[in-house]
Amino acid sequence: MNSSLTTLAPIKSNQPAAEAAQLAGRTFLQLDKKNIRLIQSLSTPDGKKFLTWSCMHVSIWAGLLTLLYFAQNSFFASLILALLIASQLHTFTVLQHDCGHKAAFRSEHTNLWVGRFFAWFIFMPFTVFTELHRRHHAHLGDPDRDPDEWFYASGKKWLFIRECLFMPRFIWLSLSGNLSAPIKKRIMQELIFNGITLALIVYLLWMNGLSSIALYGILLPMFLLATVINPISRGYEHYPMANMDRTDLRRKDLRFNTITVKNRFIGLVWANINYHVEHHLYPRIPFYRLPYMHRLLRNKNYIIRSFVLQNID
């Protein structure tokens, strides 16, 4: 659509009008009231569909590990497979993210445990991401309340470097912030469990002559996820904010601060997290319905790209 939106003159104010700017952006993008029932229907989780997609992605991950086992003697093949496994770990991040939004299953209990399952693969305590991500949605672009705003605060020069610190920063914020004692206890339990079990698996692989599986199947993919794939995917989602002054009201307007990448292949690989304007507009809609929501919004005006990092400064 109209990618020139971000070239408009900065809108600045010291008043609480920033909240109004955010609401105005969402109001402009949302569907008409006559579509309320449609939105409610789209926002109803379908556990069977989520499990079907999840099984497909877990099968791909397992298949890549199997290929890695037979390619242990090839350094180049192992590197390529490690990158593909890292990409699959990013998909697991998106799947646990849907559980955090309660968009995967109708049961809160099921969302919790399936979310923990997928968060385990990336070491991230599920509760850490869920609690801080809710604040991100509630206060998108707010320098004081959006936990993700820090990544964009120093401009595009530091954006992708800061995104490499996503996991340790979120864990530190959750344990040092104002979350309740029970939530912090849950976070510590998840962190300890994830750390011990992953370390044990790496140790057992190493001691049983499968060090290459531990290195290229677990450790290197996590490193690539943190330093390559996650910074690209997460950094680009709200990249316009890295180019805006912190007093610019467009930082809180969904039409200006978020990018949708209209690419079905990327959507298939990364569970449609690239339809990011649509996700922020209706966060309870499951990932597999976001392309359809994008088609419903085709007459709306917001930032759309064809692939990741297109036209980056």
Q: Give per-residue pLDDT as tens, 232-279.
A: 999 999 999 999 988 888 889 999 999 999 999 999 999 999 999 999
- Identify the pLDDT of residue 268: 95
Structure token digits, residue 233: 């995917």
Structure token digits, residue 223: 């490193």
User: Residue 32 above 70 pLDDT?
Assistant: yes
Share of the chain above pLDDT 70, in %: 92
The residues, ordered by sequence, that sit 6+ positions from 38 with a Cβ below 8 Å of its Cβ are 31
Give the 3-state secondary structure of residue 62. helix
Mean pLDDT of the chain: 91
Report the C-alpha gap between 7 and 1 in whole angstroms.
14
Share of the chain above pLDDT 90, in %: 81
What amino acid is encoded at 55 in this protein?
A: C
How many other C-beta atoms lie within 10 A of the C-beta of residue 167?
19
- Identify the pLDDT of residue 17: 56
Give the helix/strand (H/E) hosting 305. strand 304-305
pTM: 0.90
The pLDDT of 168-190, averaged and rounded, is 93
Report the C-alpha gap between 119 and 127 in whole angstroms.
9
Q: Is 272 left (phi over 0), alpha (psi -120 to 50) or beta?
A: left
Structure token digits, residue 304: 């759309």
Report the C-alpha gap between 144 and 312 in whole angstroms.
26
The pLDDT of 135-151, averaged and rounded, is 92
What amino acid is encoded at 170 in this protein?
A: F
User: Residue 21 above 80 pLDDT?
Assistant: no
- Looking from the CA of 121 toward its CB, the CA atoms found within 13 Å total 24
- The CA-based diameter of the chain, rounded to the nearest angstrom, is 63
Residue 234: name the closest of 284, 279, 289 by CA: 279
- Identify the pLDDT of residue 33: 82
- Identify the pLDDT of residue 247: 85
Residue 127: name the closest of 50, 176, 189 by CA: 189
Phi, psi of 226 (to 5 degrees): -75, -35
| Per-residue model confidence as pLDDT tens digits over 284-304 | 999 999 999 999 998 999 999
User: Residue 13 above 90 pLDDT?
Assistant: no
- Identify the pLDDT of residue 174: 92
The residues, ordered by sequence, that sit 6+ positions from 43 with a Cβ below 8 Å of its Cβ are 103, 282, 284, 285
- Identify the pLDDT of residue 34: 83
User: Residue 127 above 80 pLDDT?
Assistant: yes
Q: Using only C-alpha atoms, what is the Rg of the chain?
A: 20
With cut-offs at 50, 70 and 90, classify the pLDDT of residue 25: confident
- Identify the pLDDT of residue 1: 45
Give the 3-state secondary structure of residue 234. helix
User: Residue 224 above 80 pLDDT?
Assistant: yes
Q: Which CA distances in Å does 293 have to 31, 208, 270? A: 10, 49, 17
The pLDDT of 153-171, averaged and rounded, is 93
Report the C-alpha gap between 24 and 73 in whole angstroms.
57
Report the C-alpha gap between 100 and 90 in whole angstroms.
15
| Per-residue model confidence as pLDDT tens digits over 182-192 | 999 999 999 99
User: Residue 6 above 90 pLDDT?
Assistant: no
Q: Which residue has the tokens 């370390």?
A: 199
User: Residue 223 above 90 pLDDT?
Assistant: yes
CB 290 within 8 A of CB 279: yes
The pLDDT of 80-106, averaged and rounded, is 97
- Identify the pLDDT of residue 72: 86
The pLDDT of 42-61, averaged and rounded, is 97
- Identify the pLDDT of residue 4: 42
Give the 3-state secondary structure of residue 107. coil
The pLDDT of 211-234, averaged and rounded, is 96
